[in-house]
C-alpha cells in the first residue's frame, strides 16, 4: 500500500510540473485562459448580487400610487382636523397618514447631507402634508381625486405620483 501511494503522489507531482512548464511556455495565452475561467465563475455570483439588489429596490417602491397633499403654511390645528375629517369621510380614500412639518424636516436632515444648510435657515420652510392611498388606482380616478383635493381650503398643492411610475 505504501508503494502505490508513492506512485500516485509521483504521478501528480509530474503532472503539476508539466502544467507549470506549459504555463511558462505560453504565459499570455495562459493568462487569458485563467481570466476566462475566472469570469465564467464570477458571472453567476455577479448576476445573483445584481438580482438581489434589484429585488431590494423594487420592494422599496410603493406598489400603489399616492397623492400628497401639501397644506398652506398658515394652516392651523383646526384646518388640519377639518382636512383629516374630510379624508376619513371621502369614499375614494383607502388610507392616509399625516406628516407634520417638523417630522418632514427631521426626515430630510436624516436622509440628506444638507443638515448644515437646513440648520442655517431661520425657520422651517416645509408645509404639513397628508399622504393619501386611493381606493381606486385607475389613472382617471386618481386625477379626479387630486383635482378634488386642490379645491379644498388650506390645500396649497396636491401631487399625484403616477407620472414617475408611468415613465418607469
* pLDDT over 90 at 11, yes or no: yes
What is the model's pTM? 0.56
* pLDDT over 80 at 1, yes or no: no
- Give me the residue label for grid cell 469570469: 39
* Alpha-carbon distances, residue 24 vs 16, 20, 29, 125 (angstroms): 12, 6, 10, 70
Average pLDDT for 134-147: 84
How would you class 142 by CB atoms within 10 Å of its CB: exposed for 0-12, middle for 13-18, buried for 19 or more? buried
Q: What ranges make up the beta strands (E) of 29-166?
A: 66-71, 93-99, 129-134, 155-160
pLDDT, tens digit, 9 for 90 and up, residues 76-97: 888 889 999 988 988 888 889 9
Percent of residues in the chain assigned helix, strand, coil, to nearest 5: 65, 15, 20
Give 143's pLDDT tier (boundaries 50, 70, 90).
confident
Amino acid at each position: 500500500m505504501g508503494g502505490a501511494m508513492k506512485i500516485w503522489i509521483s504521478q501528480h507531482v509530474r503532472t503539476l510540473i508539466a502544467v507549470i512548464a506549459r504555463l511558462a511556455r505560453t504565459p499570455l495565452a495562459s493568462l487569458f485562459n485563467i481570466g476566462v475561467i475566472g469570469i465564467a465563475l464570477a458571472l453567476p455570483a455577479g448576476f445573483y448580487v445584481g438580482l438581489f439588489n434589484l429585488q431590494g429596490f423594487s420592494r422599496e417602491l410603493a406598489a400603489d400610487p399616492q397623492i400628497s397633499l401639501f397644506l398652506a403654511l398658515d394652516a392651523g390645528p383646526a384646518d388640519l382636523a377639518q382636512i383629516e375629517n374630510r379624508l376619513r369621510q371621502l369614499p375614494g380614500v383607502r388610507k392616509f397618514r399625516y406628516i407634520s412639518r417638523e417630522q418632514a424636516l427631521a426626515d430630510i436632515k436624516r436622509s440628506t447631507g444638507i443638515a448644515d444648510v437646513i440648520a442655517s435657515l431661520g425657520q422651517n420652510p416645509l408645509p404639513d402634508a397628508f399622504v393619501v392611498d386611493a381606493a381606486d388606482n385607475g389613472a382617471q380616478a386618481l386625477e379626479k381625486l387630486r383635482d378634488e383635493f386642490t379645491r379644498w381650503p388650506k390645500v396649497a398643492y396636491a401631487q399625484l405620483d403616477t407620472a414617475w411610475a408611468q415613465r418607469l
